[in-house]
Amino acid sequence: MERIIFHIDCNKFYASVECLHRPEIRNLPVAVGGSEKSRHGIILTKNEIASKYDLKVGEPLWSARKKCPNLVIIPPNFPLYMRFSKEVRRILTDYTDIIEPFGIDESWIDVSAVAHLYGGAEKLAYIIKERIKAELGITVSVGVSFNKVFAKLGSDYKKPDAVTVITKENFKKIVWPLPANDLLYIGPATYRTLQKHYRYTIGDVANSDLKSLQKWLGKVGIMLHSYANGYDLTPVYKGELLPNIKSISNSTTTPRDLKSFEEVKAVLFVLTESVCRRLREQCFKCSVVKIYLRDKDLATASTQKKLKYPTDITREIFQTACSLFAQNYNFNKPLRSVGIAVTDFSSCDCPVQYDFLIDTKKKMQLEKIDKTVDILKKRYGNFTIQSASLLKTADITNFNPHDDHIIHPVGVLKNKI
Amino acid sequence: MCKKVYVEVNAKFEKDGNIIPQSIIWEDETVYKIDKITDICVAASLKAGGSGIRYTCLIKGVQTYLFLEKDRWFVEAKK
């Protein structure tokens, strides 16, 4: 049986949700942007009207205002967007349980088994699109196809508020003339390589010799060849099955540059606390700690350390992060962003054999403290209990990475290469 | 044009979990009894700006939409 896969993309998601809630700005150019004071002043998304002014996602707000002086800039309201994302999912679960979210505003669903009940794939796509519009007041574009890659292409092909059907019969006509970088996983670097070899469209990639593609791009070349020819057989993963989490991280750009070890320590502590809380929520221990630094000239560096024993204790991970920092940075330039990631997970129930020199009693005490802090924060909010050392640096540590962190699309390839 | 007005509501919480609004208390504390609910569905209010469970209510013979948005009630009021 041929698969029927939809890719549902909420059009200009943040801006649409904001425009729904503020009828008075619906006919104006609107952008959702971070706070300039906190130096997060970039465009996160914009509405259709603002798009006409050639505004780009990620563009600084000052530059956007230059291009479009009457631009309405709205601060992001992530809890509201999460609510709408869940609402979209609620509607999708009425049709199938095979739903794979891709970021906050996109999902693949597999409706192979149910589409006939609604009069076919295209009709079902329209039903879902119209329901989302009526119930949530936002528009989506739906790509309908026989594999995930073409379904995603379909949802990008015509927007907003549209359905595009790409079948085995018409894909050569619809997909092949598109520029190669429209295909999932062809980024700027890959596209440049392809252009160098005179491969400009998806059709060019599809009709290329497999060996040449492999020579230019390695394994990715083979994969792109199969994507372009519609051979992608990747299943739609059920969201619940996805937690094949490989790393947990948090990073932040601070409202002002960090000039001393004390300041970096304070910011690292807030980030570590959040990362460790998320680690414990997943019932994991980590064996590798990684820090990420970006200086005021936007040069970045990262470094990591393998731990002797897996841990989920905030203090241990924090100390590792601090020692990594101290060993690797000499403050020749102030820092703009700091981040921490933990990887190499094992289950928190997995027994660990320590050597004699480890103070296990102390470890158990620290575990108890973490557990208590987690409960307090969960029940009464993140700022209920805080380290006293943060009071000195409240201007740079007054943020909540645990609840504000946003889910970015996971790499589609993470299980493949 | 419409504006979004959050209102107080007296509601009946039924055994099976349904919430049925009985009356709306307006900003000036006037109580408007809901005579009949003709429809309940999830819907967006493009006029007032929001979305939630929409109760189509008859109040003194006039049809009014009352929305339960997460845990707050609002109506589409004339400006």
Q: Tell me what pLDDT residue A406 has.
A: 53
User: Of B2, B49, B70, which has the smallest distance from its Cβ to A20's Cβ?
Assistant: B49
Looking up residue A171, the CATH number of its domain turns out to be: 3.30.70.270
A296 and A399 assigned to the same domain: yes
What DSSP line would sit under A12-75, residue for residue? THHHHHHHHH-GGGTTS-EEEE--TTTT--BEEEE-HHHHTTT--TT-BHHHHHHH-TT-EEE-
Tell me the C-alpha distance between A32 and A108, whole Å. Answer: 25
Residue A135 within a domain: yes
Question: Is the minimum CB–CB distance between A135 and chain B shorter than 8 Å?
Answer: yes
Range in A209-223, A328-342, A395-409 with the lowest mean pLDDT:
A395-409
Which range has highest mean pLDDT (A180-184, A313-317, B25-29)? A313-317
- Whether residue A417 is predicted with pLDDT greater than 50 in this model: the reply is no
* pLDDT, tens only, A324-345: 999 988 888 899 999 999 999 8
User: Of A22, A83, A135, which has the smallest distance from its Cβ to B44's Cβ?
Assistant: A135
* pLDDT, tens only, A66-76: 988 999 999 98
Residue A409 within a domain: no
**Beta carbons of A15 and A31 less than 8 angstroms apart:** yes
Tell me the C-alpha distance between A332 and A338, whole Å. Answer: 16
A186, A191, B69 from A223: Cα distances, Å: 11, 14, 45
Q: How far is A158 from chain B (nearest CA, A)?
A: 24
Residue A414 within a domain: no
- Summarize the confidence of residues A127-142 as an average pLDDT: 96
Indicate if A106 belongs to the active site.
yes
Q: Tell me what pLDDT residue A242 has.
A: 46
Number of domain units in chain A: 3
* Residue-by-residue pLDDT tens, chain B, 79 positions: 688 999 999 999 999 999 999 999 998 889 999 999 999 999 999 999 999 999 999 999 999 999 999 999 999 988 7
**In A237-359, alpha helices (H):** 261-281, 314-328
Among A199, A228, A257, residue at a domain's last position: A228
* pLDDT, tens only, A348-358: 888 888 888 88
A217 and A116 assigned to the same domain: yes
Long-range contacts of B52-55 (CB under 8 A, 24+ apart): B55/B21
Tell me the C-alpha distance between A231 and A145, whole Å. Answer: 12
Tell me the C-alpha distance between A3 and A6, whole Å. Answer: 10
Looking up residue A335, the CATH number of its domain turns out to be: 3.30.1490.100
A with B: how many residue pairs have Cβ under 8 Å apart?
Answer: 32
Q: Which of A17, A21, A83 to mutate to test the interface with B (most CBs of B within 10 A)?
A: A21
A222 and A281 assigned to the same domain: no
Q: Report which of A279, A301, A276, A278 is spatially closest to residue A291, judged by C-alpha positions.
A: A301
Range in A12-16, A196-200, A270-274 with the lowest mean pLDDT:
A196-200
Q: Tell me what pLDDT residue A140 has.
A: 96
Interchain pair B44, A23: CB under 8 A: no
- Whether residue A35 is predicted with pLDDT greater than 80 in this model: the reply is no
- Whether residue A410 is predicted with pLDDT greater than 50 in this model: the reply is no
Tell me the C-alpha distance between A273 and A280, whole Å. Answer: 11
Which residues in chain A are contacts of B70 at CB distance < 8 A? Answer: 83
Q: Which of A10, A16, A19, A20 to mutate to test the interface with B (most CBs of B within 10 A)?
A: A20
Containing domain of residue A194, as a range?
Answer: 90-228
* pLDDT, tens only, A84-110: 999 999 999 999 999 988 888 999 999
**Beta carbons of A417 and A219 less than 8 angstroms apart:** yes
A208 and A135 assigned to the same domain: yes
**Beta carbons of A284 and A244 less than 8 angstroms apart:** no
Q: Tell me what pLDDT residue A244 has.
A: 62
Which residues in chain B are contacts of A21 at CB distance < 8 A? Answer: 49-50
B2 to chain A: closest CA residue: A23
A213 and A251 assigned to the same domain: no
Looking up residue A38, the CATH number of its domain turns out to be: 3.40.1170.60
Q: Tell me what pLDDT residue A141 has.
A: 97
User: Of A22, A23, A137, which has the smallest distance from its Cβ to B51's Cβ?
Assistant: A137
Tell me the C-alpha distance between A95 and A86, whole Å. Answer: 15
Interchain pair A134, B43: CB under 8 A: yes
Query: Which residue is catalytic, options A36, A48, A59, A106?
Result: A106
The SS3 assignment for A230 reads coil
A151, A317, A397, B74 from A147: Cα distances, Å: 6, 42, 45, 43
- Whether residue A408 is predicted with pLDDT greater than 70 in this model: the reply is no
A19 to chain B: closest CA residue: B49
A24: tokens are 């008075």
* pLDDT, tens only, B45-54: 999 999 999 9
Question: Is the minimum CB–CB distance between A22 and chain B shorter than 8 Å?
Answer: yes
Interchain pair B48, A23: CB under 8 A: yes
pTM, two decimals, is 0.76
A262 and A399 assigned to the same domain: yes
Q: Tell me what pLDDT residue A381 has.
A: 87
Sequence-distant (6+) residues with CB within 8 A of A363 are A313
Tell me the C-alpha distance between A234 and A227, whole Å. Answer: 10
Q: How far is B14 from chain A (nearest CA, A)?
A: 23
**Beta carbons of A215 and A130 less than 8 angstroms apart:** no
- Whether residue A240 is predicted with pLDDT greater than 80 in this model: the reply is no
The H or E element containing residue B24 is strand B19-25
A71 and A97 assigned to the same domain: no
Question: Is the minimum CB–CB distance between A83 and chain B shorter than 8 Å?
Answer: yes
Residue A238 within a domain: no
Tell me the C-alpha distance between A125 and A182, whole Å. Answer: 22
User: Of A23, A133, A135, which has the smallest distance from its Cβ to B49's Cβ?
Assistant: A23
Q: Tell me what pLDDT residue B21 has.
A: 96
pLDDT top residue among A240 and B75: B75
Residue A233 within a domain: no
How large is the ipTM?
0.87
* pLDDT, tens only, A57-66: 888 888 888 9
Tell me the C-alpha distance between A237 and A410, whole Å. Answer: 12
**Beta carbons of A272 and A314 less than 8 angstroms apart:** yes
Residue A320 CA, distance from chain mean position = 26
- Model confidence at A405, pLDDT cuts 50, 70, 90, reads low
